[in-house]
Chain A
Amino acid sequence: MLDINNIGVSFGGVHALSNVTFAMPQTGISALIGPNGAGKTTLFNVITGFVTPKEGSVKFDGKEITGFKSEQVFMGGISRTFQNLNIIPELTLRENMYLGFIGKERPSAFATMTRLNRKYWKETSQRIEECMNFVNVTEYADMTPGSVPYGVLKNFELGRAVMSKPRLLLLDEPAAGLNLAEKENLADMVRKIQSMGVCILMVEHDMQFISSLADFVVCLNFGQVIAAGTYAEVRENKEVLRAYLGDEDA
């Protein structure tokens, strides 16, 4: 699904990523782990076109996407969420859902303003309701984000990302700030999305959350891949233990 080959990124004298290489399975849920500052979000930014690597390549379904603009990456079938919620405070959740599809479907402004494409908007409204229902946020649809619980907003963001029907969904710390019940709810949601045939790659710190979901785990430390495999394999890896717990001598 996603082939990362020899990616290198530097910010001035800091090597954020060097020689990062791994291949993500065609299906299932994969996770990118590592201590703070390991380069996980930078790698997400490389995949989604926010950062251009100084070396290496990214292939999605065998097609080179290195150096693509974010818009092109999205149009190619890769959607992402951010660590910080990007939900507009003055719009309701239903209105915020528009971001999920207008960039891809590009409805005609003239036809919309003159109300000539009523059929399209009727169908789209139906799809929005289905999507809201899918991520269990229907009861909050007419509320603005300020009056909605954080866990619901996290679900909402997931639903909005799915609205564009991506083939690969990148989730940046989806479980951050959630309580146990919300995490379980989110995990169910992620499984449901995966069962729709969407491949998922997530950055996450919560190992319990990852262990319950991920089929394939890649661990980064100081911008380099130190382990890749199943969760059990990675968990036992000495390099990974050292990265998280430090040297025994220390």
Chain B
Amino acid sequence: MKRLNFTFIIIMACVLAYIGTQVSNEYYIGVATLLLIHAVNATALNILLGYTGIISIGQAAFFGLGAYVAAVLSTNYGVNPLLTMPIAAAAAFAVAYLVGSPILKLHGNYLAMATLGMGMILYIFMNEMDFITGGPSGFVGIGDIIIGKFDLADEKSFFVFMSIFFMVFLFICELFDKSFLHNKLKFIKNSESACRSYGITPAKTKVMVFASMAALTAFNGAIFTFYTHFISPVSFSFKYSVELLAMATIGGLGYITGGVVGAVLLGLVPELFSAFEEYEMIIYGGLLAVVIMFLPGGISGTLKRLVKRNA
């Protein structure tokens, strides 16, 4: 049983504690909250692609599914926002399980195209089912999360909520990374036939991982809903799926730190280069090309190699 890597967890806890206590500018706190949301999504995709070898270009759709389920249930049916989160996760799990069972028999480019198609279909539903989702105009009037006496209406209180969720998530990811599950998923990624000859059923495991990561992304989508109070299909388009893919790849596929590092780096691009908004995708593409060519394993993989070499 491997020891947990507490260094990264402690660094993240310190950074979040610093932002929570020392930063008073609401804009910066808002950016930090969004970065945490991206980090959870990118890490979920990293577990899919970096660990299990499942390329998904439809993760934004699950994020949107969770957001809409939470928005509709809380706004139209008065369900407690906290309760809508597990419901959104369960709905995404069910959809991903049903969709994943046939499409995860595909590999490589074919799987990428199938997940892209799935994402597109869900995106079209979000746009066209305007009687539920509000269509392209978006869904308005979403309330706040209320926990006891605390109404998470302001930036700081929501940031604290998101930070707690993120730290719990990070700790669970670290437990996963240091368990045999990590190895099992990488065996599947490397050779499905070898896995089968050692009693592992790759198809079953892949569907479970795909559905679990969809559920996690949808849970995160529900949190996003109550943060922005307004959602529209644009936030869950193909572009966001590609951004998540870029975050996971640049951060480092197959490393828990990868999704977080990539999300922080690429999440800051729109903030740092706001004057070049229309060139955003060029910056993403450029960074992706540089990492793939010169930093195999992404930033986390390269740092790990450097540390190991100097140890």
Our verdict on whether A and B bind, yes or no, reads: yes
Q: Which residues of A contact B (CB under 8 A)?
A: 48-50, 69-71, 73-75, 79-80, 82, 86, 88, 90-91, 95-96, 98-100, 102-104, 107, 109, 112-115, 118, 121-122, 125, 164
B1 on the interface (CB 8 Å rule)? yes
Q: Which residue from chain A places its CB closest to the CB of B186 in the assembled complex?
A: A88
Q: Which residues of B contact A (CB under 8 A)?
A: 1, 172, 175-176, 179-181, 183-184, 186-187, 190-191, 193-201, 254
> Which 7 pairs of residues, A with B, have the shortest CB-CB distance?
A103-B199, A86-B194, A70-B196, A103-B200, A113-B175, A74-B199, A103-B198
A102 and B197 form a contact (CB under 8 A): no
A99 and B198 form a contact (CB under 8 A): yes
Q: Which residue from chain A places its CB closest to the CB of B198 in the assembled complex?
A: A103
A70 and B254 form a contact (CB under 8 A): no
Residue in contact with A164 in the complex, picked from B176, B180, B199, B254, CB distance below 8 Å: B199
Q: Which residues of B contact A86 (CB under 8 A)?
A: 190-191, 193-194
Q: Which residue from chain A places its CB closest to the CB of B2 in the assembled complex?
A: A95
Q: How far is the CA of A79 from the CA of B194 in the complex (A)?
A: 10
By DSSP majority rule, is chain A's interface helix, strand, loop, or mixed?
A: helix
Number of inter-chain CB pairs below 8 Å: 83
By DSSP majority rule, is chain B's interface helix, strand, loop, or mixed?
A: helix
Q: Which residue from chain B places its CB closest to the CB of A109 in the assembled complex?
A: B181
A99 and B183 form a contact (CB under 8 A): yes
Most B CB contacts (10 A, CB to CB) among A75, A109, A118, A122 go to A109
Residue in contact with B199 in the complex, picked from A90, A104, A107, A113, CB distance below 8 Å: A104
Q: How far is the CA of A88 from the CA of B184 in the complex (A)?
A: 11
A102 and B180 form a contact (CB under 8 A): yes
Q: A88-B186, A90-B254, A99-B183 are in contact. Are A69 and B175 (CB under 8 A)?
A: no
Q: Which residue from chain B places its CB closest to the CB of A76 in the assembled complex?
A: B199
Q: Report the minimal beta-carbon distance from B126 to chain A, rounded to whole angstroms.
A: 33
17 residue pairs of the A-B complex, CB under 8 angstroms, read A71-B201, A74-B196, A74-B198, A79-B198, A86-B194, A91-B183, A91-B186, A96-B183, A98-B180, A104-B199, A107-B180, A112-B180, A112-B181, A113-B172, A113-B175, A121-B1, A164-B199
B198 and A88 form a contact (CB under 8 A): no
Q: Which residues of A contact B195 (CB under 8 A)?
A: 99, 103
Q: A112-B179, A113-B179, A113-B181 are in contact. Are A99 and B187 (CB under 8 A)?
A: yes
Q: How far is the CA of A82 from the CA of B195 in the complex (A)?
A: 12
Q: Which residues of A contact B191 (CB under 8 A)?
A: 86
A109 and B179 form a contact (CB under 8 A): yes
A71 and B199 form a contact (CB under 8 A): yes
Other A-B pairs beyond A70-B193, A104-B198, 12, CB < 8 Å: A50-B196, A71-B199, A71-B201, A86-B191, A95-B183, A102-B184, A102-B200, A103-B199, A104-B199, A107-B180, A112-B179, A164-B198
A69 and B197 form a contact (CB under 8 A): no
Q: Which residues of B contact A115 (CB under 8 A)?
A: 1, 175
B187 and A88 form a contact (CB under 8 A): yes
Q: Which residues of B contact A71 (CB under 8 A)?
A: 196, 199-201
Q: Report the minimal beta-carbon distance from A148 to chain B, rounded to whole angstroms.
A: 16
Q: Which residues of A contact B201 (CB under 8 A)?
A: 71
Q: Which residues of B contact A125 (CB under 8 A)?
A: 1
